[in-house]
Chains A and B, each alone.
Chain A
Amino acid sequence: MKIWTSEHVFDHPWETVTTAAMQKYPNPMNPSVVGVDVLARHVDPTGKLHSHRLLSTEWGIPSIVKSIIGTCRTKTYVQEHSVVDPVEKTMELRSSNISFTNLVSVDERLVYKPHPHEPDKTILTQEAIISVKGVSLSSYLEGLMANTISSNANKGREALEWVINRLNAEIEEFTASARGTMRNSMAAAAFVEK
């Protein structure tokens, strides 16, 4: 069993990071995630939002292999449960693989909170527990997987930054076009009044 942990600070407020995290896919850093579905979602009596999602991933298996094993069997699945508390400002996300559970289990936990000393920043603590089953090289393989998880975690953070930039660009575009429309209507109204 291998445990990997990490901490990262985003230079954005918690609301921005959380909104981006809910829309993380698709993004160019995680091309293997090809499908995201919400299986269940509700706000509990304490006001926290629970979401249960299914992620479908495709690992770029060579097409010759696909043609042998069939395209239906090349997807792997991960289930993800998240809880967002808008009052305490925490988002916790837990995910685990539901494919190949007889071979390996990867459980990840991510927690996003406002930075304790810099309220306009967000701190992400992340941990993964990896367990390769029934193989004598398990600790070596677990080490390899921890490295993969570490580099994927970097990609995941870049992915959030990418989503945040995209959302900000959309807002700017919308504001600019709204301003343009308003200017035109005001000019038209002024013209009519004269």
Chain B
Amino acid sequence: MNSVGEACTELKREYDQCFNRWFAEKFLKGESDGDPCGQLFKRYQLCVQKAIKEKDIPIEGLEFMGPSKGKTEDSS
């Protein structure tokens, strides 16, 4: 599956792989601590935000935030 920004597709795929694994093996089993995909998500997000601005896609009132649990993330 592609990203809205052609340049972001590879970053998206890496993030998706990480997320899908975490979702099925950790999150659904009640282990939502830890955020193994945070760095991948940040890189992917920077690319997508740029693409959305360039293509003028009307997304309103959306704060682009990385994965967080309502507390400050440590960048590891």
Question: Residues on A close to B: CB < 8 A?
Answer: 15, 18-19, 22-23, 25-26, 33-45, 47, 49, 52, 54, 56, 72, 77, 79, 84, 86-87, 98-99, 101
Contacts and interface: CB of A to CB of B under 8 A. Distances in A.
17 contacts: A15-B24, A19-B20, A22-B19, A37-B8, A38-B15, A38-B41, A39-B48, A41-B41, A43-B27, A54-B4, A54-B59, A77-B57, A77-B58, A79-B59, A86-B28, A86-B30, A101-B58
Interface of B: 1-5, 8, 12, 15-16, 19-20, 23-24, 27-30, 32, 41, 44-45, 48, 52, 55, 57-59, 62-65, 67-70
Nearest to B47: A37
A39 B12 CA distance: 11
A96 B59 CA distance: 12
B59 A35 contact: no
Given A23-B20, A86-B30, A35 B15 contact: no
Contacts of A41: 19, 41, 67
B15 A87 contact: no
A43 B8 CA distance: 24
Contact of A35 (B2, B24, B65): B2
A43 B22 CA distance: 13
A52 B62 CA distance: 9
Nearest to A55: B4
B32 A49 contact: yes
Contacts of A45: 69-70
Nearest to A16: B24
A98 B59 CA distance: 7
